[in-house]
């Protein structure tokens, strides 16, 4: 057969990243390439008991079709979590999602015609880039510094492009671990409002804070609920396999999301929604997040120290206060994309930073993940990586 695929998939292969992940099953390789939470954080026993109870006691409803907007249990839970952050989300302003990825997909489906501009951080989450590309968006990168998006660069991009939305990960960003300070969050909000550009605020790492003070979301500057679409995810705090997230936005946008979701998956699975609601309702969420942070805090600090110790002089590192990643910018002469093969031969893997840029380049950058590896492996893997770079000189 001659498969006549839609042109929206032209040039989208996912092959570079697939090739990286296929290597990771090899136990000889210490992989810092993943982006998964540690299975040690999954609340298996609690969820098993709750699932058993939900199906045996509420099976008629849990196993039946549900409404596209979401279960009352989950919507109320999300409302309560948002209230703790100072948000007053009302009916019609929320929808549950099959992970926050679905929010990225729906936002794009609802707003982007081929050629429309989306502003993205440089670098940004690879999955979002792939989604924007499949909808044939025109991707315009906004420059960042160690604290995140640069307001001047954002204003220039807004003035030049008539962008429909800005996609931003303001806290412990994937891939850089950077956190946008409060003042800049306000500027991002004000600039986007001035230029009629929506802010898609994707904040799945926010709860994984190991030190420092929490910073209110960009959404906190949007009491009229018109400029910012806020995505929530339980993937990094409870379980990514449950596929549970939510969006908080203006009712006009939620209405369109509702229409889009009907055709995508009808609704987020009822069991998943009820499990998250039960788990949080039982008062277990904060303790869980605390335990996750305890597990990751030392690994994060250790990986950062080891990077300082082993990486070439002139490497720029930002110590994240939370999240799952350490980002390194090596001196220009190092090509981390080419050195990836040598690193794997030396028994260590990372993700070359180029994959996180909408238009590639930046071959002197790389992303390291610390949540899936033991401290012993962090020491060993970082030493191996250091040798790869030293020998490359």
233 binds ligand PLP (CB under 6 A): yes
Closest contact distance (angstroms) between CB of 378 and ligand PLP is 20
Interface segment toward ligand PLP; rule CB under 6 A; list 47-55, 94-102, 306-314, 373-381? 94-102
Measured CA to CA, the distance from residue 67 to residue 113 in angstroms comes to 28
| CA torsion angle 292 297 299 300 (round to 10) | 120
Q: Which of 235, 239, 268, 365 binds ligand PLP (CB under 6 A)?
A: 235
In the complex with ligand PLP, the residue whose CB is nearer, 73 or 98, is 98
**Cα 353 to the chain's mean position, in Å?**
15
Q: H/E element holding 72?
A: helix 72-84
- Residue 322 near ligand PLP by CB under 6 A: no
Q: Smallest Cα–Cα separation from 176: which of 148, 217, 216, 213?
A: 148
| Minimum separation from the CB atom of position 174 to ligand PLP (A) | 4
Residues 115-144 within binding reach of ligand PLP (CB under 6 A): 125, 127
CB of 297 to ligand PLP, least distance (A): 19
Q: Pick between residue 244 and residue 339 the one whose CB is nearest to ligand PLP.
A: 244
Q: Which two tokens stand for residue 77?
A: 């839970």
CA 132, CA 390: separation in Å to the nearest integer?
A: 37
* Residue 292 binds ligand PLP, judged by CB under 6 A: no
Residues in contact with ligand PLP, total (CB under 6 A)? 14
Closest CA to 341 of 392, 383, 393: 392
CB 261 within 8 A of CB 68: yes
C-beta of 127 vs 151, nearer to ligand PLP? 127
Q: Which is nearer to ligand PLP, 203 or 329 (CB)?
A: 203
Sign, CA torsion 167/170/173/179: positive
CA-closest candidate to residue 61, choices 76, 69, 71: 71
Which of the ranges 26-34, 135-143, 179-187, 232-240 carries the binding residues for ligand PLP, by CB under 6 A?
232-240
Beta bridge partners of 149: 144
Does 320 interact with ligand PLP (rule: CB under 6 A)? no
* Residue 99 interacting with ligand PLP (CB under 6 A): yes
* Contacts (CB under 6 A) with ligand PLP, residues 163-182: 169, 174
Contact 278, 54 (CB under 8 A): yes
Contact of 335 with 105, CB cutoff 8 Å: no
Residue 204 interacts with ligand PLP (CB under 6 A)? yes
- Binding to ligand PLP by residue 250, rule CB under 6 A? no
Evaluate whether 245 touches 233 at the Cβ level (below 8 Å): yes
Q: Which is nearer to ligand PLP, 202 or 222 (CB)?
A: 202
- Measured CA to CA, the distance from residue 10 to residue 4 in angstroms comes to 11
Residue with smaller CB distance to ligand PLP, 89 or 120 = 120
- CB-count burial class (<10 Å; 0-12, 13-18, 19+) for 136: middle
Pick 334 or 357: Cβ nearer ligand PLP? 357
Q: Residues 41, 73, 96, 101: which binds ligand PLP (CB under 6 A)?
A: 101
When asked if residue 148 is in the footprint of ligand PLP (CB under 6 A), the reply is: no
Closest distance of CB 100 from ligand PLP, Å: 4
- Please state the separation of Cα 227 from the chain's center in Å: 20
Which residues of the chain form contacts with ligand PLP (CB under 6 A)? 35, 99-101, 125, 127, 169, 174, 202, 204, 233, 235, 240, 245
């Amino acid at each position: 057969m001659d498969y006549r695929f839609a042109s929206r998939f032209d040039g989208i292969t996912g092959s570079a990243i697939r090739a990286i992940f296929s290597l990771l099953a090899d136990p000889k390789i210490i992989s810092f390439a993943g982006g998964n939470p540690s299975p040690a954080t999954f609340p298996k026993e609690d969820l098993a008991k709750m699932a058993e109870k939900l199906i045996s006691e509420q099976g008629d409803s849990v196993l039946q079709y549900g409404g596209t907007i979401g279960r009352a249990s989950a919507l109320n839970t999300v409302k309560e979590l948002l209230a703790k952050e100072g948000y007053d989300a009302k009916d019609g302003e929320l929808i549950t999602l099959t992970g926050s990825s679905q929010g990225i997909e729906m936002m794009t489906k609802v707003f982007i015609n081929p050629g429309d501009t989306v502003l993205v951080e440089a670098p940004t989450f690879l999955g979002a880039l792939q989604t924007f590309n499949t909808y044939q968006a025109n991707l315009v990168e906004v420059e960042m510094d160690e604290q995140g998006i640069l307001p001047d660069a954002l204003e220039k991009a807004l003035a030049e492009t008539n962008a429909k939305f800005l996609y931003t990960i303001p806290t412990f960003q994937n891939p850089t671990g950077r956190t946008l300070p409060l003042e800049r969050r306000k500027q991002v909000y004000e600039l986007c409002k001035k230029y009629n550009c929506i802010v898609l605020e994707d904040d799945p790492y926010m709860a994984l804070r190991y030190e420092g003070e929490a910073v209110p979301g960009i959404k906190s500057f949007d009491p009229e609920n018109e400029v910012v679409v806020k995505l929530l995810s339980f993937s990094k705090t409870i379980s990514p396999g449950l596929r549970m997230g939510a969006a908080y936005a203006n009712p006009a946008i939620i209405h369109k999301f509702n229409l889009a979701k009907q055709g995508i998956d009808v609704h987020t699975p009822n069991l998943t929604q009820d499990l998250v609601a039960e788990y949080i309702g039982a008062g277990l969420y904060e303790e869980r997040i605390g335990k996750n942070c305890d597990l990751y805090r030392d690994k994060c600090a250790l990986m950062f120290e080891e990077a300082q110790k082993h990486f070439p002089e002139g490497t720029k590192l930002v110590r994240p206060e939370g999240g799952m990643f350490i980002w390194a910018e090596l001196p220009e002469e190092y090509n981390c994309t080419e050195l990836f093969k040598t690193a794997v031969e030396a028994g260590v893997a990372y993700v070359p930073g180029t994959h996180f840029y909408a238009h590639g380049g930046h071959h002197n950058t790389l992303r390291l993940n610390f949540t899936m590896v033991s401290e012993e492996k962090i020491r060993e893997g970082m030493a191996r990586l250091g040798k790869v770079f030293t020998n490359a000189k």
